[in-house]
Amino acid sequence: MDREKKGNKGNKKYKIFILHGPNLNFLGRRSKKHYGKRTYEQFNSELKKKALELNVDIEIRQTNSEGEMIDYLQNSDDRFDAAVVNPGAYTHYSYALRDCIESLSIPVIEVHLSNIYRREDFRRKSVTAPASYGQISGFGIDSYMLGLEAALNLLKKGMNKNEKTLED
Ligand code: DQA
């Protein structure tokens, strides 16, 4: 596939949206065992450093509200090339968020700090993951770092926006 023509040149600066869901603004205050001791501000500074290293533009948002998550994601579809999203507890029951993710043309990488599959029963199901491109769970802040790298790799390989499939 001719990537040059498609505008996916190796040096294109991609834009990736990072969305933290409910209670993630309480990082550093809520269960450190599951979510680590970095504060929300420290966490985001590390993400910004990583973005510089990867040469991607990122925008970071957080909301505690389900509707606002949907608004943010819908608005990101025309402005970003991919999104890294931690839906927090909405992961486990928000069909509205799932439908939203499904309707986006950009790939969404779902990330979780903790490994949701080895915690309480109610966390073991993600209703949003099947609508997402992929999921990374259990690596603390590295889940987000890996999410950024995965999103970037997809884009560099020529992610087809509509089909959400790799072209190579
Ligand atoms: C979380 C896991 C969810 O079960 C929980 O409700 C969160 C954080 C994580 O990052 O591990 O708020 O998404």
Domain boundaries, the chain: 3-156
60 forms beta bridges with 18
Mean pLDDT over 87-109 rounds to 98
3-156 CATH fold: Rossmann fold (3.40.50)
Instruction: Specify the pTM.
Output: 0.91
Residue whose tokens read 């450093």: 49
pLDDT digits (tens, 9 = 90+) for 67-88: 999 999 999 999 999 999 999 9
pLDDT digits (tens, 9 = 90+) for 102-143: 999 999 999 999 999 999 999 999 999 999 999 999 999 999
The Cα–Cα gap between 54 and 153 comes to 10
Cβ pair 145, 86 in contact under 8 A: no
Q: Tell how strand 15-20 and strand 82-86 pair up.
A: parallel
In a mutational test of the pocket of ligand 1, which residue from 123, 126, 127 has the highest number of ligand atoms less than 8 Å from its CB?
123
Model pLDDT, residue 4: 39
109 lines ligand 1 (CB under 6 A): no
113 lines ligand 1 (CB under 6 A): yes
Average pLDDT of the chain, as a whole number: 91
